[in-house]
């Protein structure tokens, strides 16, 4: 179905199309149907170019005219069968969405048995299967690469899925839950509660946790503030808590960055990383369960190679 903003445009387009076809036909009939009468000689039209190039008023060759009429028959048939004439849907009722849907259905039906086979195996087994990995990679490129990158190595705020360092956990079931239901990391803002100086102190304590260069006096003051405000999520030793997605602050892996300026920004303003729930994205697609299974297996396999 065409989408015109107003019914007028449908009529406008239809009228122009029909008038053009009829007009072309009338023009051809009136100007080119002339045949030479027996014995009649084509006349010379007065001008001559390039010395000896003459213009005669011979009628058009019949085969050429025939082609012209054929294009008209074609356009009439086409406009009758397929959409093209304003809002008229065409006798065949074809739509691009309909064609897309039937192609998707055909593809899903083709993959159904293959998917069903993988669904019976556990995620770790599927992860080791090269065919499953190839399908998983395609699914990943379709649904995940815009955030995690086509090589799954992530970017600032989007975790690297290949490094075996996990915010929420890297066992097959947890990965599957992450993908299926999504995750929302909530790091509250501390700018107001701690003030600029307090934030700086706690930042230097965080820097010290992973052995980064830091100011020992500031870090010592920050340690108390960390114990008061941060341990509930990041644990007393700073190693984080997967149930909340609170990152380990003692390692060299940073979700947002480990420089002093970035950590100050994180602590002052807070962070809210959101991993969308794929059940919503996959919607009512058939094979949804199998796709989630294959995606989980693909992600699980990424860090198992290392
Ligand atoms: C709109 C962007 C976006 C898309 C699309 C997306 N993700 Fe994520 N994903 C995130 C963000 C952001 C996080 C981190 C959430 C947080 O900060 O708590 C995340 C976290 C994850 C995690 C948890 C990593 C860990 O360390 O525990 C996994 C696994 C994951 N994504 C897999 C996927 C897969 C598989 C897909 C595709 C089916 C996908 N993601 C699509 C943004 C996205
Ligand atoms: C309510 C739980 C909670 C509390 C309390 C909390 N955090 Fe966080 N923190 C998180 C979560 C969850 C994330 C990950 C945010 C995301 O995924 O977007 C995070 C992220 C961070 C990061 C970013 C790490 C990286 O890899 O880039 C730093 C730094 C940090 N927190 C420090 C602190 C400090 C310092 C405090 C105390 C002043 C604190 N957090 C208090 C839950 C918490």
119 and 290 Cβ atoms separated by less than 8 Å: yes
Per-residue confidence at 257, pLDDT binned at 50, 70, 90?
very high
Structural domain including 14 reads: 1-31+58-94
What's the rounded mean pLDDT across residues 256-277?
96
Same domain, 243 and 204: yes
Count of CB atoms within 10 A of residue 119's CB?
15
What DSSP character marks residue 55?
Answer: E
| Per-residue pLDDT at 305 | 65
Å from CA of 182 to ligand 1 middle: 7
Q: Is the pLDDT reported for residue 33 higher than 70?
A: no
| Per-residue pLDDT at 2 | 60
Average pLDDT of the chain to the nearest whole number: 91
Q: What is the pLDDT of residues 106-119, one digit of tens each?
A: 988 888 899 999 99
Per-residue confidence at 104, pLDDT binned at 50, 70, 90?
confident
| Per-residue pLDDT at 190 | 97
What's the rounded mean pLDDT across residues 135-145?
95
298 and 220 Cβ atoms separated by less than 8 Å: no
Q: Ligand 2 pocket check: which of 233, 251, 254, 262 to mutate, most ligand atoms within 8 Å of Cβ?
A: 233
Query: Which protein residue has the closest C-alpha to ligand 1 atom 13?
Result: 275
Q: Is the pLDDT reported for residue 264 higher than 60?
A: yes
Percent of the chain with pLDDT over 70: 98
HEC string of 85-144?
Answer: CCCCCCCCCCCHHHHHHHHHHHHHHHHHHHHHHHHHCCHHHHHCCHHHHHHHHHHHHHHC
Same domain, 201 and 239: yes
Same domain, 111 and 177: yes
Q: What is the pLDDT of residues 193-240, one digit of tens each?
A: 999 999 999 999 999 999 999 999 999 999 999 999 999 999 999 999
188 and 230 Cβ atoms separated by less than 8 Å: no
Per-residue confidence at 285, pLDDT binned at 50, 70, 90?
confident
Give the domain-ending residue among 43, 76, 94: 94
Is 168 touching ligand 1 by the criterion CB < 6 Å?
A: yes
| Burial track 229-241 (b if 16+ CB lie within 10 A, e otherwise) | bbeebbeeebebb
- pTM metric for this prediction: 0.76
Per-residue confidence at 49, pLDDT binned at 50, 70, 90?
confident
Is 202 touching ligand 2 by the criterion CB < 6 Å?
A: yes
What's the rounded mean pLDDT across residues 8-13?
91
What's the rounded mean pLDDT across residues 76-92?
91
Same domain, 178 and 213: no
Å from CA of 158 to ligand 1 middle: 7
Which among 56, 70, 75, 65 has a CA at the least distance from the CA of 29?
65
What's the rounded mean pLDDT across residues 142-162?
95
Same domain, 168 and 296: yes
Give the domain-ending residue among 79, 94, 109: 94
| Per-residue pLDDT at 142 | 93
d(CA 223, CA 229): 10
- What lies within 8 Å, CB to CB, of 227 at 6+ separation is 236
Same domain, 203 and 265: yes
Per-residue confidence at 300, pLDDT binned at 50, 70, 90?
very high
Same domain, 161 and 21: no
What's the chain's length in residues?
306
Percent of the chain with pLDDT over 90: 70
Runs of H (alpha helix) within 182-287? 191-209, 216-229, 231-234, 260-269, 278-282
What's the rounded mean pLDDT across residues 278-306?
86
Same domain, 135 and 154: yes
What's the rounded mean pLDDT across residues 118-123?
94
Overall domain count for the chain: 3
Å from CA of 246 to ligand 2 middle: 6
Same domain, 17 and 87: yes
Sequence-distant contacts of 303-306: CB under 8 A, at least 24 apart? 303/161, 303/162, 303/163, 303/164, 303/170, 304/127, 306/162, 306/163, 306/164
- Residue pointed to by tokens 């955030």: 147
Per-residue confidence at 306, pLDDT binned at 50, 70, 90?
very low
CATH number of the domain residue 243 falls in? 1.10.760.10
Query: Which protein residue has the closest C-alpha to ligand 2 atom 6?
Result: 230
Per-residue confidence at 18, pLDDT binned at 50, 70, 90?
very high
Q: Is the pLDDT reported for residue 41 higher than 60?
A: yes
Query: Which protein residue has the closest C-alpha to ligand 1 atom 9?
Result: 275
Same domain, 217 and 158: no
Å from CA of 290 to ligand 1 middle: 19
244 and 233 Cβ atoms separated by less than 8 Å: yes
What's the rounded mean pLDDT across residues 117-140?
94
Q: Is the pLDDT reported for residue 267 higher than 90?
A: yes
Domain membership of residue 70 (yes or no) is yes
């Amino acid at each position: 179905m065409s989408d015109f903003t107003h019914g007028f445009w449908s009529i406008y387009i239809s009228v122009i199309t029909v008038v053009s076809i009829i007009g072309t036909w009338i023009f051809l009939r009136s100007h080119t149907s002339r045949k030479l009468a027996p014995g009649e000689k084509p006349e010379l039209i007065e001008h001559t170019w390039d010395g000896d190039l003459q213009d005669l008023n011979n009628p058009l060759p019949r085969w050429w005219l025939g082609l012209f009429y054929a294009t008209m028959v074609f356009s009439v048939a086409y406009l009758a069968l397929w959409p093209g004439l304003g809002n008229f849907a065409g006798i065949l009722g074809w739509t691009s969405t309909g064609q897309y849907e039937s192609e998707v259905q055909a593809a899903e039906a083709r993959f159904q048995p293959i998917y069903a086979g993988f669904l019976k195996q556990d995620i770790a087994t599927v992860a080791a299967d090269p065919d499953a990995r190839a399908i998983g990679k395609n699914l990943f490129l379709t649904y995940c690469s815009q955030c995690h990158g086509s090589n799954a190595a992530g970017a600032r705020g989007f975790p690297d899925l290949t490094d075996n360092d996990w915010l929420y956990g890297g066992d097959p079931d947890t990965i599957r839950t992450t993908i299926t239901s999504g995750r929302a990391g909530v790091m509250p803002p501390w700018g107001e509660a701690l003030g600029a100086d307090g934030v700086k102190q706690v930042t230097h304590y965080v820097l010290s946790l992973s052995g980064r260069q830091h100011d020992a006096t500031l870090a010592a003051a920050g340690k108390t503030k960390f114990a008061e405000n941060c341990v509930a999520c990041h644990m007393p030793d700073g190693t984080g808590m997967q149930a909340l997605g609170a990152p380990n602050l003692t390692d060299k892996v940073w979700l947002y960055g480990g420089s002093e300026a970035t950590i100050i920004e994180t602590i002052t303003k807070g962070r809210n990383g959101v991993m969308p729930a794929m059940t919503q994205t996959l919607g009512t697609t058939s094979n949804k369960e199998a796709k989630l299974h294959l995606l989980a297996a693909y992600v699980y396999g990424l860090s198992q190679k290392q």
